[in-house]
Amino acid sequence: MRYFLELSYNGTDYHGWQNQPNAISVQEVLENALSTLLNSTIAIVGAGRTDAGVHAKQMFAHFDTESNFKTEDLIYKLNSFLPNNIAIHNLFQVQPEAHARFHALSRAYVYRISLQKDVFNYNGSYYVKQHLNVPKMQQASKLLLGHKNFQCFSKSNTDVKTYYCNIMEAEWNLVGHELQFSIKADRFLRNMVRAIVGTLLNIGLGKLEVEDLHSIIASKSRSEAGFSVPAHGLYLTEVTYPETIKLNN
């Protein structure tokens, strides 16, 4: 039987989602917890691979098991067993072929920029001291929706078949003392969101013009785009799936 887990995590203490040979990952901690509680070796597959230090407010993962359990009981036991920086929110049975990564329809991220020094949230947002031209950054973010090939924002030497992504939403919002960039797409390349934010920040700082974004994307060169903002300000906020993956009990 195949199940989907819905979870969130603070990525500060982890070397990303995916298992690493010499570093702790969210996947490893979850697999160990499930294997212990279900008394069998459990492997899980996540909806994506967040980098080291990146957080997730909503992440999904699937796993297979023949063990019998009550859903509410396993959620409770997992949350008791797991460290404070990982929380399980839901667990449900899905179709045998349902896949947490390949069946995702869209993913959404938020990048948080603090506009003033915040001693309580310095590890959850990126502090920018300089003045930013937010209207220009907003204007540039809308240009992203008119493009498909985002190789210029991809980590170099990435083994992918295509650099095409369908960006559905991209905008800046002022939330209290934070400037937040929200972006939604069918898929993302490695380092893509952090490179986009760094490029938009360069526009806000006056280092680039809004129209420069077209030539940067056309270049398909990572060296033409802006810097990658730090991982600790990035949050995976939503992953959507077709309703048909759920098993109708």
| Residues classed as catalytic | 51
Beta bridge partners of residue 246, listed in sequence order: 94
Interatomic CA distance for residues 60 and 56, integer angstroms: 10
Is the CB of residue 16 less than 8 Å from the CB of residue 236? no
2 alpha-carbon distance from chain centroid: 23
Is the CB of residue 132 less than 8 Å from the CB of residue 206? no
Interatomic CA distance for residues 89 and 68, integer angstroms: 19
Interatomic CA distance for residues 193 and 51, integer angstroms: 11
Is the CB of residue 232 less than 8 Å from the CB of residue 169? no
Q: What is the 3-state secondary structure (H, E, C) of 43-98?
A: CEEECCCCCCCCEEEEEEEEEECCCCCCHHHHHHHHHHHCCCCEEEEEEEEECCCC
Question: Which residues 6+ apart lie within 8 Å of 136 measured at CB?
Answer: 203, 204, 210
